[in-house]
Amino acid sequence: MNDFIKMFKENKRLSYAVNIFILLVVISLILKVDFTKFSKETDIKLSYQESEVTVDSYVYNLEKRLEKILEKIDGIKSVDVMIYTKETPILEPVYDENITNDSNVEVTSDGSRREVNRETKQNKVILGRDNSVVEQYYQYPEIHGVLVVANYGGSKDIYSILMNSVRTLLNIKLNDIEIIVIN
């Protein structure tokens, strides 16, 4: 063992190679570690993205619920629903507002007076327990049109049944509903 340490100290190339090897091992370990577990900022961004997905999926969930209800009508084999909204949902978050007022009065040697007023306003979005945005209010998008494509094999007047069902469930005008029945 003593001979190995002595040889290591005397041979500069060997010590250089060992140092490079140790450096490469340390760099590979650093690259292998996942730092996202330790970063709170990344967690906040992920939570915010998840809330955006929830906001965008409002119309999709409404379409799926409407499809499930309409498929229960006797004689309907399958149904597809598409809802058109003109505007996107509006999410109004709660802000932590901090206002600071500074006032500075300067008097010069000739007796003139100068007053400087400064107002600083900071808004910070308040996050809940799971790092999601706390909402003051949420305005759902207004529905401007509905398209229903139904595969129907029955003998009833399904067109009027579907039209009245969609009008009642979504509270929209009949002119905004389009029904296509496939036999």
The first and second tokens of residue 31, run together, are 């690259």
pLDDT digits (tens, 9 = 90+) for 75-124: 899 999 999 888 766 777 888 888 888 888 888 888 888 888 888 888 88
Q: Is the per-residue pLDDT at 5 higher than 90?
A: no
CATH of 57-89+140-183, one of 2.60.120.10, 3.50.50.60, 1.10.10.10, 3.30.300.30: 3.30.300.30
**Which pLDDT band holds residue 146 (cuts at 50, 70, 90)?**
very high
For 71-102, letters b (16+ CB in 10 Å) and e give: eebeebeebebebeeeeeeeeebeeeeeeeee
Mean pLDDT over 125-148 rounds to: 82
Question: Do 101 and 111 contact (CB within 8 A), yes or no?
Answer: no
* Cα–Cα distance, 147 to 164 (Å, whole number): 13
Question: CATH 3.30.300.30 region(s) of the chain?
Answer: 57-89+140-183
Mean pLDDT over 28-55 rounds to: 56
Mean pLDDT over 21-48 rounds to: 66
Q: Is the per-residue pLDDT at 55 higher than 50?
A: no
